[in-house]
Structure 1
Amino acid sequence: MQNALWAVLVLVIGILVLRAITRERREYGRFKRMRRTAARQRTYRRWLVESLVLLGGLSLVVLLAAGGFVQPVLDDVRSAPVIAPALDALAGGLGIGIAVGLVVVLAGLIAVTVVVGRSATEIPALGDVAALIPRNRAELWYGAGLSLNAGVVEELLFRLALPALLFAVLGNGPLAFALASVLFGLLHLYQGAAGMAGATVLGLVMSALYVATGSILVPMALHAVIDLRSLVLLPMVVTKAHRIRA
């Protein structure tokens, strides 16, 4: 059983590393040189399907192999000396305050994006993602699709499935979530060092939310909102992409 789990882990990591090093960097390099929206939309469409099939498929394979460790890895992290007292505080009612605070922060982020974006001359971004930003109304729909897809399949793989598999072979919950976040950052290799670092930090934040709430739906929703802000709201506010016909 243990050997089989190790084999699944090596296979998944190998696929993710290969995707990050070859397909991600090479395809994004070509995408940055595209000027015709028809070509860009075809690439968006292919990325959307490939992400859904590949990451969704990997999630299914990993959960079939290590689904029994989903709850044990959560229990292991929650019992860690540093984390357990914080979770006790959450159980005392602070959790509701944090949930409300999260909603307020997201609403504030959206409001600031709208207000500041109206006077911005270019879309702010962390890492090499400028070419990825939709440029017209038709591309915005793909931006929305990619955002929602990422929120679901990436969280399913990197916050639910992979930590369970890593815990099954390593026996350490905090380490499992940390390594999964590093792999999540690696998937953003095409964005450069800043993009990878930002994605890794985001992965750790999503992991903390998942551990604190016990619901994968929370990081899924937050991830989707963050991506929607970048790929839909910002281009609408700053470049008025929704007014530009393809």
Structure 2
Amino acid sequence: MTPLDTLQALDAPAVTVAVLAAVALALVVSEPVLGRREHRAFLAELARDTAPAAQESVRVRLYRRWSRQGWAYAVGAVLLVVALPGVGLADLGLAAPDLDGLPGSDGGSLSGSTLAGFLVGVTLAVVASLLLVRFVARRSDRTPVAGAAAVEPMLPRTPRGRRGWSGLALAAGVTEEVTFRGLLILAIALLAPGAERTTVLVAAAVLFGVAHWYQGPVGILATGAVGFVLGGLYLSTGSLLVPMVLHTLVDLRVLLLPVPRSSAEPEAATGADRPARPHDAPVAS
């Protein structure tokens, strides 16, 4: 029995299904609207504060605000599932991963040397993608990140900003998995107990992509694709642990990017200091 079969077979009371459906609907409707509005407010505030240190403070405040919101949503989802009858934390993906659910090369379960090969392959793929992002960024005037026009103003310019971004990446990696993978897929499984795995993954991925509306069409497609992969890992292992780790690494990759061309000097600099040069310093030390 697969993790999705387990979710679809839950004998949850009607009130549980109704509450989860309502909360999931509120999440997928409010998240893109609030995200776009807050991003626009961030850009406006960034334009008003032209001093480098002031602009970095604007970024850090955004990181902290989005981190707090993410943790609030995730904690709320956990408390909701604990309180509702017929569902539990394991149904939210908060359980140890079942690696036997990952398919092996022979169509059977993943174990032994195949498991080791899988983990090594994932690690090498992540490292290679991070190095590629840095390589492309060093040789291009453009930020090699989907939705770059929206994301680039958010990128940290100083050690303080990098610490703030790291906190945001961790918060997003954990909390978005709880809400957009755990809670959302649970709600879909209960509402559509006969839905195929691919249908569930596509539905959750589309809603996850739309939640990043502020990044524009390319950003929506890219985050949706990432959501599909992370959802597949969740439904293969029955746990959000692996998706949380990979999600955090994906968000941390921007720390490998050089400071954007339009950026100013670190916080110690003032308006009287020398102007910033393109790619003057790496974002990550």
Q: TM-score range by the shorter chain?
A: 0.7 to 0.9
Mapped pair 1:224 → 2:235: no
Alignment check: 8 A CA contact 2:158 2:267 kept:
yes
Alignment of 1:137-152 (within 5 A): 137-152=159-174
Mapped to 1, the partners of 2:79 and 2:23 lie a distance apart of 14
For residue 19 of structure 2, what is the aligned residue in structure 1? 7
Mapped pair 1:54 → 2:73: yes
Identity %: 30
Cα separation, partners in 2 of 1:168 and 1:9, compared to 1, 3 Å: same
Shift of 1:229: 0.4
For residue 212 of structure 1, what is the aligned residue in structure 2? 236
Mapped to 2, the partners of 1:86 and 1:17 lie a distance apart of 42
Larger of the two Rg values belongs to structure: 2
Alignment of 1:13-24 (within 5 A): 13-21=25-33, 23-24=34-35
Q: TM-score, normalised by structure 2?
A: 0.70
Gaps of 5+ in 1: none
Mapped pair 1:157 → 2:188: no
Deviations 1:61-88 (A, max 9, x none): 24643336458xx99xx7xxxx899752
Aligned length: 236
Cα separation, partners in 2 of 1:206 and 1:64, compared to 1, 3 Å: farther
Most deviating of 159-168 and 147-156: 159-168
Shift of 1:152: 0.6
Most deviating of 171-180 and 154-163: 171-180
Alignment check: 8 A CA contact 1:25 1:189 kept:
yes
Mapped to 2, the partners of 1:122 and 1:3 lie a distance apart of 50
Alignment check: 8 A CA contact 1:56 1:157 kept:
no
Q: Which amino acid aligns with 2:117?
A: G
Gaps of 5+ in 2: 1-12, 50-54, 269-285
Q: TM-score, normalised by structure 1?
A: 0.80
Q: Which amino acid aligns with 1:25?
A: R
Shift of 1:98: 2.1
* Aligned partner (choices 179, 201, 216) of residue 225 of structure 2: 201
Alignment of 1:8-87 (within 5 A): 8-21=20-33, 23-33=34-44, 34-35=46-47, 36=49, 37=55, 38-62=57-81, 64-65=83-84, 66-67=87-88, 69=91
Mapped to 2, the partners of 1:69 and 1:86 lie a distance apart of 29
For residue 121 of structure 1, what is the aligned residue in structure 2? 141
Structure with bigger helix share is 1
Q: Which amino acid aligns with 1:24?
A: G
